[in-house]
């Protein structure tokens, strides 16, 4: 309790703090972001630590069966779901969840009963293995557990404390494992990357144990790198007689995406593959699948491809290709197949569901009999639950606009959402995948990945068509892609994806010519302007231009790489004095109270998404970030959009902090002119 004789001074101090902003004093309530603070609102998902239940997934990944049970990785929800018997009706609920204590939770963790973005699973005679990808380990349950969240019986650790990076391929280590496979005797694990300094790097490898390991430090017997051409080896497809390794970044192949094929299971160190298999429809995705008991091969890429036997070479066409338009099969990154007799189960990664064919597939338009994770074949649960993939974000402090880099949709909130999962006021579909968005004084500009630029003079809360639209050219400016746009009271800026920033004195509604062009190196840049500074960002550099003196020969100030910043960055923004930089590889947003401090190479004042300066790990939780890439700042709100393997948009809010008052300020005659204060 405050003594009576102190009440008057105490009230006076609070009154002065409250009035300081209107009477010319320095404010005494300062708002700032803090290291490790929790986010307050989540969009693009259900809520923090909420999955939406046992039958709402988030981009299902690998799937496996031992002929009796079925398991798949619901990786973005940090869990594996298990059916003890093969589901024969749609939306049969799973019997078991691993990685979480219940069906509703999805926080990442590194305990024996937790997971961090599991991507691979294998089942053999009741033994369950999970590639716990971002914990760099393989979890092993010798028998299927009886309780949710049961701890693994055995853990094969991929990296050890004190390991340094980048790491050369070696038989006693694996990094970022995307897949695991066993037949009860042999064990195969993909080491997807070398985990280079400042982020994930290419140059992965495959490990084979000829006998199932019995200790967590037992090194593999065989190491494979496809003669050094393996990039990021991911999915494993095998029947014990042949081996297929999906790869997303292969070298010295016609396509970097496909799968390495060993027609006979490798038995020697660095045995080279026989060929590189690519998707016959579109070689733009790596491949993963399963063998039937008769030697048939089922592979998921852009759709389900079936060979009656292992193809002899990449030129062998599949015997059957599913028409993905028949029931909206979208496939994509991480989709998998599990075969049990004539029954075939497929994870439809971009369709957010698991599909089951209960009888032999004989037609390219054959529909699955079982749908798990959606009420029917026609419902897209990503869209119906307002999930967003690869978000681009803009706000003016009153409204919020988020474009999807994948779903070709634009979501608008008339008022800033204050609760997680708030649906948008309107969603405009089929507009083009957003590469960047800007709002300024009610004007909305959306750049699309397919060469489009759309301009609304007022925010289209009724779904209105754009007032102006360009495609591939504005006047004499031609572009194949727009990587960034910005708008302020002085200029409109457009980065063309080739290292050129075109600057107009106003919005080019009729194809007007730009005032000038700033020539940078030939890379893609994101743009942000607060009217005083134009911030130009790429994945390796951050530059700040003064708007008042901007010209084609302007020399920017640069944010150099320091011990606090990784070698892989994303968006950056100045807001008044404050400076924000998304550190993509280190899974955090760096915050400086004064942008000059960032230029000077000083340590950030706060690390958002991290518990301290040394925390660079990813995670889907309230206080961690997973591959942050986009952001938007307005006042006390910072929105951060996660990229590719998460899709959340989270809001961090500043909190007021009372700072020490200086008596000189309290009793200054300038504070209350004409008044006399006795100290």
Measured distance CA(108)–CA(102) in Å, rounded:
13
Query: What per-residue confidence (pLDDT) applies to 195?
Result: 66
Would you say residue 668 has pLDDT above 60? Answer: no
Measured distance CA(248)–CA(103) in Å, rounded:
32
Q: What percent of the chain has pLDDT over 70?
A: 91
The contacts of residue 396 (CB under 8 Å, 6+ apart) are: 439, 440, 441, 442, 634
Measured distance CA(367)–CA(418) in Å, rounded:
42
Measured distance CA(546)–CA(534) in Å, rounded:
6
Length of the chain: 679
Average pLDDT over residues 228-238: 97
Query: What per-residue confidence (pLDDT) applies to 189?
Result: 98
pLDDT tens-place string over residues 252-268: 999 999 999 999 999 99
Q: How confident is the model at residue 671 (pLDDT cuts 50, 70, 90)?
A: very low
**Helix or strand (DSSP H, E) at 12:** helix 7-23
Better-predicted residue by pLDDT, 576 or 659: 576
**Helix or strand (DSSP H, E) at 138:** strand 137-141
Residue with tokens 């939406």: 52
Bridge partners (DSSP) of residue 628 are: 642
Hey, what long-range contacts does 518-524 have (CB within 8 A, 24 or more apart)?
518/545, 518/550, 518/552, 518/554, 519/552, 522/498, 523/499, 524/481, 524/483, 524/484, 524/495, 524/497
Q: What is the largest CA-CA distance in the chain?
A: 98
For the chain, helix (H) and strand (E) counts, in that order, are: 4, 52
Query: What per-residue confidence (pLDDT) applies to 202?
Result: 80
Query: What per-residue confidence (pLDDT) applies to 199?
Result: 60
Q: How confident is the model at residue 677 (pLDDT cuts 50, 70, 90)?
A: very low
Measured distance CA(588)–CA(565) in Å, rounded:
10
In this structure, what DSSP letter does residue 50 have? B
**Helix or strand (DSSP H, E) at 344:** strand 343-348
Measured distance CA(125)–CA(521) in Å, rounded:
56
**Helix or strand (DSSP H, E) at 536:** strand 533-537
Measured distance CA(647)–CA(392) in Å, rounded:
11
CA angle 276, 280, 285 (to 5 degrees): 70
Would you say residue 678 has pLDDT above 50? Answer: no
Which structure tokens are listed for 261? 């094929």
3-state secondary structure 421-461: CCCCCEEEECCCCEEEEEEECCEEEEEECCCEEEEECCCCC
Classify 595 as helix, strand or coil.
helix
pLDDT tens-place string over residues 339-376: 999 999 999 999 999 999 999 999 999 999 999 999 99
Average pLDDT over residues 541-546: 97
Query: What per-residue confidence (pLDDT) applies to 193?
Result: 83
502 burial (CB, 10 Å; 0-12 / 13-18 / 19+) is buried
Q: What percent of the chain has pLDDT over 90?
A: 84
Contact assessment for residue 527 and residue 533, using Cβ atoms and an 8 Å cutoff: no
Bridge partners (DSSP) of residue 35 are: none
Beta carbons within 10 angstroms of residue 90's beta carbon: 19
pLDDT tens-place string over residues 274-326: 999 999 988 989 999 999 999 999 999 989 999 999 999 999 999 999 998 88
Average pLDDT over residues 456-471: 96
Q: How confident is the model at residue 32 (pLDDT cuts 50, 70, 90)?
A: confident
Which structure tokens are listed for 510? 């009729």
Would you say residue 676 has pLDDT above 90? Answer: no
Would you say residue 514 has pLDDT above 70? Answer: yes
Query: What per-residue confidence (pLDDT) applies to 581?
Result: 98
Beta carbons within 10 angstroms of residue 557's beta carbon: 15
Contact assessment for residue 129 and residue 140, using Cβ atoms and an 8 Å cutoff: yes
Average pLDDT over residues 191-218: 85
Better-predicted residue by pLDDT, 53 or 654: 53
Average pLDDT over residues 568-574: 95
In this structure, what DSSP letter does residue 375 have? S
pLDDT tens-place string over residues 655-666: 654 444 444 443
Would you say residue 28 has pLDDT above 60? Answer: no
Average pLDDT over residues 143-158: 97
Would you say residue 567 has pLDDT above 90? Answer: no
Q: DSSP string spanning 19-34?
A: HHHHHTSPPSEEEE--
**Closest C-alpha to 173, from 188, 182, 181, 163:** 163
Contact assessment for residue 618 and residue 664, using Cβ atoms and an 8 Å cutoff: no
Query: What per-residue confidence (pLDDT) applies to 453?
Result: 96
Measured distance CA(82)–CA(60) in Å, rounded:
13
Measured distance CA(614)–CA(124) in Å, rounded:
39
Q: How confident is the model at residue 669 (pLDDT cuts 50, 70, 90)?
A: very low
Task: Give the ranges where 318-389 is alpha helix by DSSP (H).
Answer: 381-384
Query: What per-residue confidence (pLDDT) applies to 198?
Result: 59
Would you say residue 209 has pLDDT above 60? Answer: yes
Phi, psi of 8 (to 5 degrees): -65, -50
Q: What is the mean pLDDT of the chain?
A: 91
Measured distance CA(30)–CA(261) in Å, rounded:
61
Q: How confident is the model at residue 23 (pLDDT cuts 50, 70, 90)?
A: very low
Q: How confident is the model at residue 433 (pLDDT cuts 50, 70, 90)?
A: confident
Measured distance CA(66)–CA(84) in Å, rounded:
10
The contacts of residue 287 (CB under 8 Å, 6+ apart) are: 235, 237, 244, 246, 258, 259, 277, 278, 279, 299, 300, 301
Would you say residue 164 has pLDDT above 90? Answer: no
Classify 665 as helix, strand or coil.
helix
Q: What is the pTM of this model?
A: 0.90
Average pLDDT over residues 101-116: 98
Query: What per-residue confidence (pLDDT) applies to 201?
Result: 74
Bridge partners (DSSP) of residue 456 are: 444
Beta carbons within 10 angstroms of residue 184's beta carbon: 11
Average pLDDT over residues 379-402: 96
Classify 266 as helix, strand or coil.
coil
Angstrom distances, CA of residue 159 to CA of 21, 156, 201, 525: 53, 9, 15, 35
The contacts of residue 137 (CB under 8 Å, 6+ apart) are: 155, 156, 157, 158, 177
Measured distance CA(192)–CA(175) in Å, rounded:
6
Query: What per-residue confidence (pLDDT) applies to 415?
Result: 97
pLDDT tens-place string over residues 48-107: 999 999 999 999 999 999 999 999 999 999 999 999 999 999 999 999 999 999 999 999
Q: How confident is the model at residue 13 (pLDDT cuts 50, 70, 90)?
A: very low
């Amino acid at each position: 309790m405050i003594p009576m004789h102190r009440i008057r001074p105490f009230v006076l101090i609070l009154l002065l703090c409250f009035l300081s902003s209107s009477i010319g004093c320095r404010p005494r309530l300062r708002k700032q972001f803090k290291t490790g603070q929790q986010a307050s609102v989540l969009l693009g998902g259900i809520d923090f630590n909420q999955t939406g239940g046992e039958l709402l997934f988030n981009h299902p990944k690998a799937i496996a069966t031992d002929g009796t049970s079925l398991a798949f990785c619901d990786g973005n929800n940090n869990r594996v779901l298990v059916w003890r018997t093969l589901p024969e009706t749609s939306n049969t609920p799973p019997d078991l969840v691993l990685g979480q204590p219940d069906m509703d939770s999805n926080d990442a963790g590194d305990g024996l009963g937790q997971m961090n973005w599991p991507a691979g699973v294998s089942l053999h005679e009741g033994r369950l293995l999970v590639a716990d990808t971002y914990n760099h380990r393989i979890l092993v349950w010798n028998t299927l557990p009886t309780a949710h969240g049961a701890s693994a019986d055995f853990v094969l650790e991929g990296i050890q404390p004190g390991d340094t990076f980048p790491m050369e391929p070696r038989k006693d280590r694996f990094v970022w494992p995307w897949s695991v496979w066993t037949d009860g005797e042999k064990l195969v694990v993909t080491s997807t990357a070398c985990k280079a300094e400042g982020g994930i790097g290419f140059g992965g490898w495959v490990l084979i144990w000829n006998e199932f390991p019995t200790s967590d430090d037992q090194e593999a017997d065989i190491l494979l790198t496809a003669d050094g051409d393996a990039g990021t080896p991911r999915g494993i497809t095998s029947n014990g007689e042949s081996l297929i390794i999906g790869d997303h970044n292969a070298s010295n192949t016609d396509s970097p995406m496909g799968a390495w094929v060993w027609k006979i299971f490798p038995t020697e160190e660095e045995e080279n593959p026989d060929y590189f298999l690519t998707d016959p429809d579109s070689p733009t995705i790596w491949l993963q699948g399963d063998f039937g008991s008769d030697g048939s091969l089922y592979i998921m890429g852009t759709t389900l491809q079936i060979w009656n036997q292992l193809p002899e070479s990449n030129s062998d066409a599949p015997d059957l290709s599913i028409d993905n338009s028949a029931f909206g099969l979208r496939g994509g990154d991480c989709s998998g197949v599990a075969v049990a007799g004539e029954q075939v189960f497929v994870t439809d990664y971009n369709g957010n569901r698991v599909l089951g064919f209960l009888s032999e597939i004989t037609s390219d338009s054959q529909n699955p009999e079982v749908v798990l994770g959606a009420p029917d074949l026609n419902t897209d649960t990503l869209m119906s639950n307002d999930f967003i993939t690869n978000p681009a974000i803009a706000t003016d402090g009153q409204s919020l606009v988020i474009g999807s880099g994948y779903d070709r949709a634009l979501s608008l909130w008339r008022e800033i959402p204050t609760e997680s999962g708030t649906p948008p006021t309107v969603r405009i579909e089929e507009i083009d995948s957003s590469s960047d968005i800007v709002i300024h004084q009610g004007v909305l500009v959306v750049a699309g990945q397919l060469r489009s630029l759309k301009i609304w003079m007022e925010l289209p809360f009724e779904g209105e068509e754009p007032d102006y639209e360009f495609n591939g050219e504005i006047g004499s400016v031609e572009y194949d892609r727009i990587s960034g746009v910005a708008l302020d009271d002085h200029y409109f800026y457009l980065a063309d994806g080739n290292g050129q920033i075109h600057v107009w004195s106003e919005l080019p509604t009729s194809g007007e010519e730009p005032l000038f062009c700033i020539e940078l190196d030939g890379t893609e840049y994101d743009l942000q302007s607060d009217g005083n500074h134009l911030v130009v960002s790429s994945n390796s550099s951050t530059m700040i231009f003064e708007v008042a003196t901007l010209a084609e020969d302007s020399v920017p100030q640069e944010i150099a790489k320091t011990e606090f910043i990784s070698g892989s960055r994303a968006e950056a923004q100045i807001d008044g004095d404050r400076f924000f930089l998304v550190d993509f590889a280190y899974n955090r947003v760096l915050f400086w109270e004064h942008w000059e401090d960032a230029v000077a190479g000083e340590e950030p004042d706060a690390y958002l998404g991290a518990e301290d300066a040394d925390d660079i790990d990813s995670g889907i939780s309230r206080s961690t970030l997973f591959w942050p890439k986009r952001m938007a700042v307005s006042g006390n709100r910072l929105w951060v959009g996660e990229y590719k393997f998460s899709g959340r948009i989270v809001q961090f809010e500043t909190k007021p902090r009372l700072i020490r008052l200086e008596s000189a300020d309290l009793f200054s005659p300038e504070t209350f002119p004409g008044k006399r204060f006795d100290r």
